[in-house]
Copies of this chain bind each other. A is one copy, B any other.
Amino acid sequence: MVSQDVMPAATNRGLPEKRRAIAQAARTVFGRDGFSRASVDAIAAGASVSKRTIYNHYTDKESLFLSVILEGSASVATTHMRIAERHLRKILDLEEDLVAFGVEWASSPTAFADHFALVRTIQAEASHIPPVVLEAWQNAGPRAFQQELARYLRAIADRGLLVITDEHEAANHFNLLTFVNVVQKSFYGAIPLADSEITELVTSGVRAFLRLYRPETES
């Protein structure tokens, strides 16, 4: 975990098919074992590929890890975007829509268990990862989506359904009260929660969020 190049540190030769197989297997194995414990041999076996081939595609175990986590992060981000669009573009019942959104959002760590296991690894080794890479990851993943969420909240507020002065702070609060709450309790999906429990936590979080940002109902 010492490479200083921002991206990709991966040689680009070889068949894209094998390349994807390797990436897939790497995601699984890294997710299961963490960076240090994961062995390149295991990844090779998982991808039904010679170990030598891995080293033809990627210079390093480390660069393989980086490549995989950046791809995964982007993929998860677009999925989150779609979830947000589906629930927040047209608002029918505000609380209901926010809860539905929050539940699906907060369930993604169990849906993308592989990827979020990598995220846990990143956090554990945060101090060994070049800050540039950390930044790159955050911007491609979590931060990008929080920006998007802020935009949706702004739009909802403009329609008069919420009272928001700083939409980024509001997005942060929503994030904390729903997603982060679930994520903390489930160890990023490592100890999966029952769907009912997720719904419960998110509902409670959304209620609090609405108490913070709902317009005064003049009696």
Q: Which residues of A contact B (CB under 8 A)?
A: 32, 34, 36-37, 117, 120-121, 123-128, 131, 134, 169, 172-173, 176-177, 180-181, 184, 187-188, 190-191, 204, 208, 211-212
Contacts and interface: CB of A to CB of B under 8 A. Distances in A.
B204 A208 contact: no
16 contacts: A32-B127, A34-B124, A34-B128, A120-B126, A123-B124, A123-B188, A124-B124, A126-B188, A127-B191, A134-B187, A134-B191, A176-B176, A176-B180, A180-B180, A208-B212, A211-B212
A190 B127 contact: yes
Given A36-B34, A123-B123, A124-B120, A181 B191 contact: no
B176 A181 contact: yes
A74 B37 CA distance: 29
A62 to B, nearest CB: 13
Nearest to A187: B126
A97 to B, nearest CB: 21
Q: Is the interface of A mostly helix, strand, loop or mixed?
A: helix
7 nearest CB pairs, A to B? A124-B124, A126-B190, A36-B36, A126-B187, A127-B190, A120-B124, A176-B176
Number of copies: 2
Contacts of A211: 211-212
Given A172-B181, A176-B180, 5 more contacts: A120-B124, A127-B187, A127-B191, A208-B212, A211-B212
Contacts of A121: 124
A204 B176 CA distance: 13
A121 B124 CA distance: 5
A208 B120 CA distance: 28
Nearest to A1: B37
A10 B174 CA distance: 44
Contacts of A184: 180
B181 A177 contact: no
A121 B122 CA distance: 10
A200 B208 CA distance: 21
A112 to B, nearest CB: 15
Nearest to A118: B124
